[in-house]
Amino acid sequence: MRYIVQLSIVVLFFGCNNDRRTAEKPAGSEQISGLKAKLPDSLQSLDNLSVYSFSDQSYDTVVFQRKQVFESNEKVFFEGYTGDIAIDDQDNVYIAVSKPGTVGIYVFSPDGDFITKFLREGRGPKEFITISDILINNGYLYILGPKLQKIGKFTLDTYSLEYEIIVRTDSLTDELSALSANNLLTTNKGRLIVRFDGSSPFNPNMIPSNYYYKIIKKGMLREKPVLSEPKTSFYKPENRMTSKGTVRLPRSMPFSRSTIVTAGDSLLFTARTGRFLIKVYDKNGNYRRAFYYSYEKSSLLLSETELGKAKRQLVEEHPGKVPDTWPVIHNMVADDEGRFWVQTITDSESSYQGWVLGKQGRLRARFEWPGHRAERSAERPPLFKIKNGYLYTRERDIPQGIDRIVKHKIKFKESGLH
């Protein structure tokens, strides 16, 4: 069963509960100098690396107050499932909703009042077949439709179409020209950046990296990628067909390693989930700095991990590929104030440990976030967007008819804890 986030006016104090502390595993007894001496060999030569310890920094605790829900109601019905969201400077909420044959952008006021719906299914102007990402930049809403490889730019006042471009791969090598754009990023007041993934359902590691390219004009891409990051690790079936003639697909696992990329403040940030290391790049992909926290990973006991039949069979076919530990990072996003919100995996089966870090990586606050690590998707981190002091997340339980976006007020409460 999917976990449904139920946050109300409850203070999520982390550090006041001794039972919870046993589930946290950040290394903390070492001094910073000692941590530098104990860096993994692969990090010893990394330039501009800041090394921190969780234990020697004071921190606040985060209070989440459930404020508003955006969902189907007596005035509007979502014709499909909620996808990506965007929030403008007035806190209006834009929700991409789609299902086969239907797409739409639903707009709500900050108080949850339905304003309008625009966009339609099709291949013509102002039409999309699928929507993977939406974002707001410089007062415009951008929509990426991966099926048509199309990006649309819309005004926020009248929701009218400014222009559409087809993402072109003419400048890419033959090997990469078959890639598809499926993710949209932008650095603040910067150009659009699209992520290309060369996977297919039958060969997800066909090209081992995801590539991030700037769009320069008329859908053309800059010749060299801004970033190139390892893709999620998959488990491939030894036999593609079952004895009943059905197709077996490669799958990622809840414990698969992946790379998370987020953007903000004219910078790009990457984190390989196997360790607590965040690298910072400028908008052109030039490495600037990094920060690192030593973190003891939670042991992976496959016998105690809930996996479906198909995934369990794939794991049994590749026993040597199963790691001994869970990844460190579950999710990471940058907010509109330059802070990092990182969720890490602990021994807990029902929650993640949350960390709020400043621009240079220092600890600012901690929180706990509900979720089952055995149900996590390494390929698709959960929706977790922060703007203007609010956190926006998704609650979904399709069998129960629940599919909604929830807005939480964020408050920092001084705790003085270490």
Q: Which tens digit of pLDDT belongs to each residue from 28-41?
A: 434 445 556 578 88
| CA-wise closest residue to 176 among 219, 234, 224 | 224
Spatial separation of the C-alpha atoms in residues 155 and 160, rounded to whole Å? 5
C-alpha dihedral (231, 396, 338, 272), degrees to nearest 10? -20
CB 211 within 8 A of CB 225: yes
Range list of β-strands (E), 305-400: 329-334, 340-344, 351-357, 363-370, 384-387, 390-397
Q: How many beta carbons lie within 10 A of that of residue 301, not counting itself?
A: 9
**How much is the mean pLDDT over the chain?**
88
User: Per-residue pLDDT for 304 more than 60?
Assistant: yes
Asked if residue 188 is part of any domain, the answer here is: no
The share of the chain scoring above pLDDT 90, in percent, equals 70
Cα angle 337, 262, 352 (rounded to 5 degrees) comes to 85
Place of tokens 């600037």: 288
Spatial separation of the C-alpha atoms in residues 199 and 180, rounded to whole Å? 9
Spatial separation of the C-alpha atoms in residues 197 and 220, rounded to whole Å? 17
Asked if residue 91 is part of any domain, the answer here is: no
Asked if residue 112 is part of any domain, the answer here is: no
- Return the structure tokens found at 233: 């690790």
Asked if residue 125 is part of any domain, the answer here is: no
Q: Return the pLDDT at 264.
A: 86
CB 382 within 8 A of CB 331: yes
Spatial separation of the C-alpha atoms in residues 283 and 226, rounded to whole Å? 8
Q: What is the mean pLDDT of residues 191-200?
A: 83
Label residue 335 by pLDDT band (50, 70, 90): very high
Q: Which pairing describes strands 363-370 and 59-70: parallel, antiparallel, or unpaired? A: parallel
Asked if residue 126 is part of any domain, the answer here is: no
Q: How many domains does the chain have?
A: 1
Q: Return the pLDDT at 1.
A: 42
Q: Return the pLDDT at 242.
A: 78
DSSP state of 296: P
User: Per-residue pLDDT for 205 more than 60?
Assistant: yes
User: Per-residue pLDDT for 42 more than 90?
Assistant: no
Label residue 219 by pLDDT band (50, 70, 90): confident
Asked if residue 280 is part of any domain, the answer here is: yes
Instruction: Print the domain residue range for 396.
Output: 1-70+244-418
Label residue 249 by pLDDT band (50, 70, 90): confident
Asked if residue 236 is part of any domain, the answer here is: no
* Stretch among 166-170, 174-178, 271-275, 340-344 having the lowest mean pLDDT: 174-178
Asked if residue 395 is part of any domain, the answer here is: yes
